[in-house]
């Protein structure tokens, strides 16, 4: 069994009377690419900050690389790479200057050599981007530089807080290629994201809602275990009939061009719902089965947690 790099038990954080992270249990193993999912405000950022010692724990315990996250943060810091939501780069410094600065903070001996390595590894040498000021770079390149900074001191674990937010799909894909490369060298990566396609590229995913962990498994197992089916139904204007759109047989409904995408617990539910449409003067085409996605699973879990089936 692989060695656990981060292990947290009953991790809890409250701000006033609001519980942001609620008894979270997670284990991240060596070389694992761990997707950390959940809607906005679900406690992902706070949980990551607690793991790297940025936010004190209210209760619970945890270790990172064998050190206690509550009391041994100074020992964890040199072994950990962190990337914040807003990238934390200096806009008026060049790529090289940002990298040099971070290397020096981490006490790297051969700063020039390490910076050159990073420039090559992250392809900043193409088109002379290494001497470009960060403020003039696109979001994708800033994101790449922030990752390079987090990797500067060759950490054993990377904690990345929504690193792909606001970045175009091509850059996101390239970013995940790099992450998979990094993980293949034995570095563990915990990455929070909103994008389900990214989650599918993880070795394991955790889904948190209201600070509580709802799912913790390999993405393919999460999908396989989902009690849901999905279908594409040629139909328009269903949303003009709220009672149909909010039918309890339907888990999720979304208009997609000239058809609707329906997620339900069974094919029978979809069939009977489509049949009922005709009684309201809506003429739907024949439903075509499609794949259920992770987003559908999480949507379903969220609704279950909220205690009722509602449309978003």
Q: How far is the CB of 157 from other proteins (least distance, A)?
A: 12
CB of 260 within 8 A of CB of 233? yes
40 closest CA partner among 169, 159, 208? 208
Cβ closest to other proteins, residue 56 vs residue 227: 56
CA distances from residue 36 to 94, 118, 194, 196 in whole angstroms, order as listed: 31, 26, 9, 10
Cβ closest to other proteins, residue 24 vs residue 52: 52
The span from the first CA to the last CA of the chain, in angstroms, equals 41
**Placement of tokens 């694992």 in the chain:** 32
CB of 208 within 8 A of CB of 23? no
DSSP 240: G
Q: How far is the CB of 305 from other proteins (least distance, A)?
A: 27
Cβ closest to other proteins, residue 111 vs residue 244: 111
Q: How far is the CB of 205 from other proteins (least distance, A)?
A: 24
Cβ closest to other proteins, residue 159 vs residue 230: 159
Q: How far is the CB of 42 from other proteins (least distance, A)?
A: 18
β-pairing, 212-217 vs 67-68, is: unpaired
Cβ closest to other proteins, residue 91 vs residue 280: 91
CA distances from residue 284 to 140, 248, 277 in whole angstroms, order as listed: 42, 19, 7
Q: Could you count the other beta carbons within 10 Å of the beta carbon of residue 248?
A: 10
Q: Compute the half-sphere exposure of residue 218: CA atoms within 13 Å on the CB side of its CA.
A: 5
β-pairing, 229-234 vs 80-83, is: unpaired
Q: How far is the CB of 267 from other proteins (least distance, A)?
A: 48
Cβ closest to other proteins, residue 66 vs residue 285: 66
Q: Could you count the other beta carbons within 10 Å of the beta carbon of residue 155?
A: 22
Q: How far is the CB of 312 from other proteins (least distance, A)?
A: 30
Residues in the chain: 312
Kindly list the residues in this chain that would bind other proteins in the complex (CB under 8 A). Answer: 49, 52-56, 74, 77-78, 80, 82-91, 102, 105-107, 149
Cβ closest to other proteins, residue 107 vs residue 257: 107
β-pairing, 188-193 vs 18-29, is: unpaired
Q: How far is the CB of 121 from other proteins (least distance, A)?
A: 20
Cβ closest to other proteins, residue 53 vs residue 219: 53
Give the Cα-Cα-Cα angle 14, 19, 24 (nearest 5 degrees).
95
Q: How far is the CB of 152 from other proteins (least distance, A)?
A: 10
Euclidean distance between CA atoms 72 and 68, whole angstroms = 5
- Coil, strand, or helix at residue 291? coil
């Amino acid at each position: 069994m692989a060695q656990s790099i981060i292990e947290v038990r009953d991790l809890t954080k409250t701000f006033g009377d609001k519980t942001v992270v609620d008894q979270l249990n997670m284990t991240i193993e060596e070389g694992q690419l761990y997707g950390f999912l959940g809607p906005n405000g679900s406690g992902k950022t706070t949980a990551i900050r607690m793991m790297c010692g940025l936010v004190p724990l209210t209760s619970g315990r945890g270790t990172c690389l064998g050190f206690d996250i509550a009391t041994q943060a100074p020992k964890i810091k040199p072994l950990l790479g962190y990337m914040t939501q807003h990238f934390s780069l200096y806009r008026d410094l060049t790529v090289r200057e940002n990298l040099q600065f971070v290397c020096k903070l981490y006490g790297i001996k051969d700063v020039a050599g390490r910076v050159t390595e990073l420039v090559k590894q992250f392809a900043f040498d193409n088109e002379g981007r290494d001497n470009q000021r960060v403020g003039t770079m696109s979001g994708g390149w800033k994101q790449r530089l922030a990752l390079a900074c987090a990797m500067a001191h060759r950490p054993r674990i990377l904690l990345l807080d929504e690193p792909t937010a606001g970045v175009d799909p091509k850059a996101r894909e390239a970013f995940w290629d790099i992450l998979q490369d990094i993980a293949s060298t034995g570095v563990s990566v915990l990455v929070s994201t909103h994008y389900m396609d990214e989650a599918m590229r993880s070795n394991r995913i955790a889904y948190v809602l209201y600070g509580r962990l709802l799912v913790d498994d390999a993405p393919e197992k999460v999908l396989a275990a989902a009690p849901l089916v999905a279908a594409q139904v040629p139909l328009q204007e269903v949303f003009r009939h709220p009672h149909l759109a909010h039918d309890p047989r339907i888990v999720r409904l979304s208009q997609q061009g000239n058809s609707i995408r329906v997620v339900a617990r069974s094919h029978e539910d979809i069939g009977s719902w489509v049949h009922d449409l005709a009684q309201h003067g809506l003429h739907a085409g024949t439903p075509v089965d499609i794949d259920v996605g992770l987003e559908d699973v999480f949507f379903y879990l969220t609704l279950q947690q909220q205690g009722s089936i509602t449309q978003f």
